Amino acid sequence: LKFVCYSNDGVDEHMVWLIGLKNIFGRQLPNMPKEYIVRLVMDRSHKSVMVIRRNQVVGGITYRPYVRLNLHSLNISQKFGEIAFCAITADEQVKGYGTRLMNHLKQHARDVDGLTHFLTYADNNAVGYFIKQGFTKEIHLEKDRWRGYIKDYDGGILMECKIDPKLPYTD
Ligand code: ACO
């Protein structure tokens, strides 16, 4: 079992994993248009943390890091990630992969991207999962950091997670 984080960087092997992941999103997120899923998964400003087992993608999270500094010349930086899609393939759900995936995402986002928070529009039926991963419906992040940057999405509830600055999330 391994956890990797790739974007569409022209490496063949990364592309194979990203295609596997977009197929899982296509099946697990039936309300999302397929073209929209492909567009974001293959977009170079998005990254995907994936669980790979026996050379197969089991699931993943696609997110966009926002890292602009001195936003609006106000000396505030963004440093948050927007989670676009999150799913585990049907026959591997509720086995703990979703939790381990989120922990790897937090570790990577903090240590590689320098992020402090995540935001996501959670589907109603996934709110319970996000709460277990430390997300809240209260948004503490200053509006200046995110308003106008993340896409409004009717079918979901905006949720936030603060990334602990020190905690080891993975072993
Ligand atoms: N509602 C409530 N609790 C849940 C849900 C849920 N939909 N899914 C998992 N949990 C709970 C589990 O019971 C478990 O609780 P426990 O620790 O007390 O036992 C905990 O959350 C973690 O469970 P995992 O096994 O780690 O979760 P899993 O591997 O199944 O991954 C996920 C969760 C990603 C939601 C998966 O079930 C899935 O792909 N669902 C379908 C697609 C989906 O809804 N994705 C999210 C849409 S929102 C978005 O993408 C931004």
pLDDT in tens, 67-83: 988 777 777 899 999 99
Q: Model ipTM?
A: 0.92
Residue nearest atom 12 in ligand 1 by C-alpha distance? 94
Residue nearest atom 1 in ligand 1 by C-alpha distance? 128
Domain spans of the chain? 2-162
The DSSP code for 164 is P
Q: What's the pTM? A: 0.95
Ligand 1 contact, 95 CB (< 6 A):
yes
Residue 136, helix vs strand vs coil: strand
> Is 13 tagged catalytic?
no
pLDDT in tens, 21-67: 999 999 999 999 999 999 999 999 999 999 999 999 999 999 999 99
pLDDT attached to residue 114: 96
Write out the E strands in the chain. 2-6, 47-53, 56-66, 80-88, 117-123, 156-162
Q: What is 2-162's CATH number?
A: 3.40.630.30
